[in-house]
Amino acid sequence: MIERYLVRYFLAVVDHGTFSAAAQHCRVTQPTLSVGIGKLEALLEAPLFERSNRAVRLTAAGTRFVEHARRIENAFNLAKCAVQFEPDAGAVRLGVLNSLPGPELARMTALALARAPAATFELVPGTARELHAKLNQGRIDVALTLTATGTATFLESPLRTEGFGLFLPATHALAGRDVIAAEEVAHDVMIVRRHCESLAAISRHFTDKDVRPHFALRTTNDDRVLQMIAAGLGITVMPTSFTAPGVRSARLQGFDLRRTIGLAFAPAAHPLEQAPPGIVLAAIETFSSPARPII
């Protein structure tokens, strides 16, 4: 019989990439996790991972098992949440993606409170991966996060799709341009948004063009990023929905990556998709608006 903890060990390795990171996530020692994976492979009578000093990769059998493992884990969570979740018993827990613009979150919150002042809800910030885990664990009911990524394991309701732009001070020599090439800002100072889900793709776009700028600030605070751009400290790449006084944006030539923002519902919270409470309605209204075009 395959026990749940073995499935959780397997999915942790898949999601975190290494046995050590998976063990830390599961709060067990690496040898314990390795023994568990070995036990699972014995039960399935097939190797699930190719192990090397540099990386851990799924075998063909492991790749086939991933979908089944996620269904098993979701079924456990569904059973648990179905017992614990009562839509009318307390606050709706809404996960919010760290990289969403603060003014839009404030507008969403104000709208929800204006329509139902007595309503209670909890906003839970996190990265896309953290919110995914919280949905799985039943720690949040709904997440306002990245959707349409091709790896959905939850009921999703996409709201809007937006691109990325190059953000620079209004006083910058290129501030009036509609399109800017990476090579044109090769000597500019950059600001790094460390929480950006697309950071690797952005970095690759610049390095592929042999642009390796100096970094003046590395932060997870988008308000600080915009303030420092306006102050003239540097430039960065951000989703086009961001805006701030003293900041201009342009399309980054050849960088066509886009992201879709939407709602993802925990298995036991599917009724909220059919009869959304005030905070969910406010999220739908606020984030269904088209993203701000690059100016």
For 108-143, the pLDDT digits (tens) are: 999 999 988 888 899 999 999 999 999 988 899 999
**Is the CB of residue 85 less than 8 Å from the CB of residue 141?**
yes
Question: What is the per-residue pLDDT for 294?
Answer: 46
Q: Which two tokens stand for residue 66?
A: 């991933």
Helix (H, G, I), strand (E, B) or coil at 256: coil
- Over the chain (295 residues), the average pLDDT of each successive run of 10 is 91 86 89 95 94 82 89 68 50 94 96 88 94 91 87 78 95 95 96 94 94 94 97 97 96 93 86 82 84 49
pTM: 0.67
Whole-number pLDDT of residue 289 = 61
Residue 259, C-beta contacts closer than 8 angstroms, at least 6 positions apart: 146, 161, 162, 164, 197, 198, 239
Please give the structure tokens belonging to residue 259.
Answer: 């992201």
Is residue 177 within 8 A of residue 250, CB to CB? The reply is yes
pLDDT at residue 150, as a whole number: 63
Q: Tell me the domains of the chain and their CATH numbers.
A: 4-84 (1.10.10.10), 92-160+259-287 (3.40.190.10), 163-257 (3.40.190.10)
146 and 139 Cβ atoms separated by less than 8 Å:
no
| Secondary structure (3-state) at 145 | strand
pLDDT on residue 154: 80
Radius of gyration of the chain (CA): 22
